[in-house]
Amino acid sequence: MAEILADIHLDEGKISSLNIVSADTSVILYNQLERATLKRHGVDSTQFAKSFASYVQEPQDFIDLYKKVNAALAKKQRLKK
């Protein structure tokens, strides 16, 4: 789950860096990237939503998850250099 969220946050960054004026266009592009990311990880949107919702219900689990997300993002950043 942490790797998926890390990739989703990277997708969000890509969209944000495009400086698209139209919010509708941004949403369409984001949705396409998110679908591709979930497919790459072998997860569908329903599975992802259920898993994410379960983490949200348990604050400590959510905090622990985002520690892993941050670590995954840091690792991806190091590998990028």
Q: What is the pTM of this model?
A: 0.89
pLDDT above 90 for 53? yes
Residues 6+ apart with CB under 8 A from 17: none
Q: How far apart, in whole angstroms, are the C-alpha atoms of residue 65 and residue 55?
A: 8
For the chain, give every domain's residue range.
Answer: 2-80
pLDDT score recorded for residue 56: 95
What would the pLDDT profile of 3-48 be if each residue is shown by its tens digit?
A: 999 999 999 999 999 988 898 999 999 999 999 999 999 999 999 9
Instruction: Tokens for 63, please give them.
Output: 């905090």
> Computed from CA positions of residues 80, 12, 42, 57, in that sequence, does the dihedral angle turn out positive or negative?
positive
pLDDT above 80 for 81? no
- Of 61, 72, 53, nearest in space to 8 by CA: 72
